[in-house]
Structure formats: C-alpha cells, structure tokens
Amino acid sequence: MSRSTRLLDLIQLLRTYRRPVSGAALAQRLGISIRTLYRDIATLQAQGADIQGAPGFGYVLRPGFLMPPMMLSEEEIEALVLGARWVAARTDDDLKDAARNALAKIAAVLPTDLRHELETNSLLVSSVRKPVVGTTDLSVVREAIRQGLKLDINYADINGSPTSRRIWPFALGYYEETRVLAAWCELREDFRHFRAERIASMTVTNIRVPRKRQHLLAEWRRVHNVKNDM
Amino acid sequence: MSRSTRLLDLIQLLRTYRRPVSGAALAQRLGISIRTLYRDIATLQAQGADIQGAPGFGYVLRPGFLMPPMMLSEEEIEALVLGARWVAARTDDDLKDAARNALAKIAAVLPTDLRHELETNSLLVSSVRKPVVGTTDLSVVREAIRQGLKLDINYADINGSPTSRRIWPFALGYYEETRVLAAWCELREDFRHFRAERIASMTVTNIRVPRKRQHLLAEWRRVHNVKNDM
DNA sequence: AGGCCTGCTGTCAGTTTCTGGCAGGATGAT
DNA sequence: ATCATCCTGCCAGAAACTGACAGCAGGCCT
C-alpha cells in the first residue's frame, strides 16, 4: 500500500473513533511502525487535518477537516442495507419508513454503479414475526428520549401489580423477543428497565430531565461498565 | 510538495473543471511532467476516483468520488445507527468495520447538530453470542456474490455425508442462529440453500455466472413468490 | 515522588518509491 | 491521414519513506 492511500486510510480510521485512540493501536491497524505513524499524523496535520494528540490520551480527529470522506465502498453499502433491512423487518413501521427514506437519500448521492449495488444488494434478513410490544407506541418513546422529556407510565411490575411512575427515559433496547426501555425511575431513585409490553399506558410530560442528568446513557454505561460503543 | 498532497490537489483541481482538461494543462498547473500526471491519475483511479479520460479529449472527474453533504432526519439517523449496531453485533468483523466506516463517513457529511444526534444515539441492540458459521469466511462469499463468480464447495448434506458441488451464489441470509447461502446448484440444477457452518471448504472460481442468469435473486424471488423488497 | 502510558523528536542507513525523458502504441474526431 | 491526446514500458538518478533506537515531556495514578 502506497503512502498516499495509507494517509487516506488513516483519516478514515480516525473518523471511526470517537474516543481518543493510541498511536500504537492505529499503527497496528495500518501495519506500520509507531514512528511512521507519528510521521503520517504530522503530514496530515500539515495538510490541515485537525488531529488532536495528547500524551497519555491518544488521538482524536476533530470534525470539519476540509476533506470530505471518500465515497462509500461496496461493503459499506452492504452493511448499511443489511442493517436497514433488519430495522425494517424487526422494528416498527415508523422506523421502517425512516430506514427506507435514509437509504433513498444515500442512494441519491451514490454514483450509478454503487446505486445499482445498493438496489440489488443480496444480503437478506430473516423475517419472522415481530416481538410483541403491547400498545406502546415506541416512536413516541423515541421522541421523548430525543427531547429529554420525562414520561408518566402505568407499568405492571414483575408480580403483575400495576404501578404508576414518572421516569426519565434515555435508551431503548431492541432484543430478539422484546423491547426494553431503560430509564431513571423517580419512584426508586435508580436506573430501571421496563419491558415495552408491560407498559399499560404512557403520557409524555413537558418536564425536561434536569440539566445535570442529561447524559443518563453515559452515566448508565459507567455504572454498568458497558464498553461497546457501537 | 509531497506526492500525497499533490494527489489531493489534483482531485480539487479536477473538481473545478467542468469541461474536459488535457493532461498537459493539469501537469503544468501542478508543476510536474506529463508522465507523472498520468501516473497520478492512475493512482487516483485505483483509489476509486471516477476519472474519465478519452484520447483527443481530456479528463473529467465524474461526481461520486467524495461524499457530498447530506441531510437526514433524526429518525432516519436513528434507523441507520440501529441497523449498523445490529450488523456490528451480529455479523462478522469485516461487516462490522464496514458498518463503522459507513457511519463515520455519513457523520462527516452531516451538519453539526445531526452529527451529535448520530453520536449520542440511544437505540441499543442486544449483544448476545454470534451464530456459529464454522470456518467459512463470509466476506469471501459476499465478494463472490458481488462479482457474480461461481464457487466450489464441499458441503455436508442433511445426512452429514460430504458432497462437492459447483454453485452460483446469489444471496446470503442472516438468520438469528445461522447464516444461509442461497445459490443455484449445478449438481441439482435447481436452487439450493446451504448452511454456512456445514460448508467444510470453499474455493472461489474465476468462472462467471452466465449472462442470462445474472439475476438469480430476482428469479428466486419470483419462483418463491417473495414480496418484501426491503 | 515514582511509575506508567503516551505523544513527540532526532538521527541514520537501507530500501522503496518517485520522477522525468524517451520511444512507441492506441483511440477518436475531423 | 492527421491531429490531439491518452496510455504504457523502460531506465537511471533523485527523493522519499521506513524502522530502529535513544531520549525528552506531559498528564494520570498510587
């Protein structure tokens, strides 16, 4: 691999990381020595890439570098289409439409041959029946999460007895058989998980989650030591 | 000026022209010889740039080398991220990387607030164990499907007895517990499904599927009356 | 303070790549 | 046929790239 292609690869590699990544890790993925990596980083910085490196931390590429990314590869298109198909097959109609629309927008910017690749993509997802979610409209939940609004729910707890709670929703887990809403529960003053099909009814309040707690997902990740960021 | 920066310059230079430009003109603007320019063009083409050059004409860069800015709705972003996460959690390392790269590229061309939306997305996928696929390298299979190349496989049929076949692969099904390769089987002269974990070994031939049968997926869909196009 | 991880720089020799020039072929328009 | 241009192969000198080593510096943790 020539140096020029490697530099492009390096930019793309940096783009895929959000948290700082060590030079050693980058060098290993690129198959070069650390020394050479430092030189490559320096070259990119000289060309205007806003790469921040701090001792003991690693590197982060700050967005807005003048070079837009290269076009999607065939494999990347396959990954997106496969993912969209899973969403279409396994979630609800709103997300399904969203997935279709997203693909259409992506298709619109693809050159002809890649658009063809997208349209004739041959990775399929099994289409078994969808999980039961009861009467809960998950698109409402997603909207509440985005807006950072509290929810009032009537929930059947593990014994089946109904309880009413005010919760601060922050994530929605898509499992094979069920949907789980992760939230901060005002009643218990702790993180709680709620199965969608056990939510009897739900009202979106117009009360915002307090500013201090707006990163509940990150907080929850720390508490549960969840690593995977993808 | 190093070669790598010059290649970036060349792309930018080409983008500023609408009408064909002669190689000589480009070489002069870059301060290099015509011979070197031809080499640079070849390098860019090898990296995916759609540069058309015609004798007696000049060069034109056709759009599609770089990703243009894009607008997606919040819900479309959620759908893409959720799908990518499923791909990352449930398929193989190659597709996982592809999904990450695709999202990174899309993020780079989104306006700032939407990029933030993409990065803090709160829809999660359960990360249970991945299905067993045996020793089969599915990225090789995907590549063969894309290229329309026949495969020679050693397959353990339903009784466990090994058979050798030449097949024309056209689709790969991602089920919860297994991966299924859909293909035309020369041995049976019919469509057949092969479970990935039962494929003992596999060789990609360089024989192309006959032109008449290049739309096996569509043909198969017709035969099986499969409707869902998503 | 001391240890550790990490970024960063200098130097050097061996290797690889790059470059320009030349010669010749090929292609499409006129 | 002629012209403009793209394109390829070859070659030798020039330029760069590369890895290794050695060392410094900044921030975090105990």
In which element (H, E) is residue A46 found? helix A34-46
* Side chain identity, residue A110: L
Radius of gyration of chain A (CA): 22
pLDDT band at A167 (very low <50, low <70, confident <90, very high): very high
ipTM score of complex? 0.87
What are the pLDDT digits (tens) for A63-90?
877 677 888 999 999 999 999 999 999 9
* Residue numbers in B near A12 (CB within 8 A): 101, 104-105
The whole-number mean pLDDT for each consecutive block of 10 residues of chain B, a chain of 230 residues, reads 84 85 91 92 88 86 85 96 95 94 94 89 81 82 94 88 94 90 94 93 92 87 74
Distance B119 CA to D12 C1' (A): 53
Query: For chain A, what percent of residues have pLDDT higher than 70?
Result: 95
* pLDDT at residue A134 tops 80: no
Question: Looking at A128-132, A211-215, B30-34, which range is the least confident one?
Answer: A128-132
Question: To the nearest whole number, what is the mean pLDDT of chain A?
Answer: 88
Instruction: Give the bridge partners for B204, in sequence order.
Output: B151
User: Please, are residues B27 and B34 in contact by the beta-carbon 8 Å criterion?
Assistant: yes
**CA atoms of B28 and B24, how far apart (whole Å):** 6
Q: Of A53, A52, A45, A50, give the one whose Cα is nearest residue A63.
A: A50
Higher pLDDT: B133 or A9? It is A9
Residue B195, classed as helix, strand or coil, is: strand
Residues 6+ apart with CB under 8 A from B26: B10, B13, B14, B37, B59
Interfacial B residues in 110-139 facing A (CB < 8 Å): 112, 115, 117, 119-120, 122-128, 139
Question: What is the pLDDT at residue B126?
Answer: 81
Distance B26 CA to C26 C1' (A): 22
* Side chain identity, residue A92: D
Instruction: Write the DSSP symbol of residue B70.
Output: -
**Mutating which of B41, B47, B51, B87 best tests the A interface, going by the most A Cβ atoms within 10 A?**
B87
- Closest residue in chain A to residue B170, using alpha carbons only: A122
Could you tell me where the DSSP H helices lie in B91-215? 93-108, 112-119, 138-147
Question: What is the pLDDT at residue A180?
Answer: 93
Could you tell me where the DSSP H helices lie in B50-92? 74-90
Question: What is the pLDDT at residue A226?
Answer: 65
Q: Of A77, A133, A65, give the one whose Cα is nearest residue A110.
A: A77
Query: Which tokens belong to B4?
Result: 């790598």
CB of A40 nearer than 7 A to strand D: yes
Nucleotides of D under 7 A from a protein CB: 3-10, 16-22, 25-28
User: Please, are residues A85 and B229 in contact by the beta-carbon 8 Å criterion?
Assistant: no
Residue A207, classed as helix, strand or coil, is: strand
* pLDDT at residue A225 tops 70: no
Q: Which CATH class is domain B3-61?
A: mainly alpha
**CA atoms of A122 and B226, how far apart (whole Å):** 13
Distance B199 CA to D18 C1' (A): 42
Neighbours of B30 (CB within 10 A): 17
Q: Is A160 on the interface with B (CB under 8 A)?
A: no
Neighbours of A140 (CB within 10 A): 14
Residue B229, classed as helix, strand or coil, is: coil
For residue B165, the number of C-alpha atoms closer than 13 Å in the C-beta half-sphere is 23
CATH fold group of domain A138-224? SH3 type barrels. (2.30.30)
Question: What is the pLDDT at residue B167?
Answer: 96
Amino acid whose CA is nearest the C1' of C6: A56
Instruction: Give the bridge partners for A52, in sequence order.
Output: A60
In which element (H, E) is residue A24 found? helix A23-30
* Alpha-carbon separation of residue B215 from A167, A191, B67, B210 (angstroms): 51, 51, 29, 10
* Alpha-carbon separation of residue A207 from A210, A214, B20 (angstroms): 9, 13, 59
Helix then strand then coil, in percent of chain B rounded to 5, is 45, 25, 30
* pLDDT at residue A222 tops 90: no
Question: What is the pLDDT at residue B177?
Answer: 83
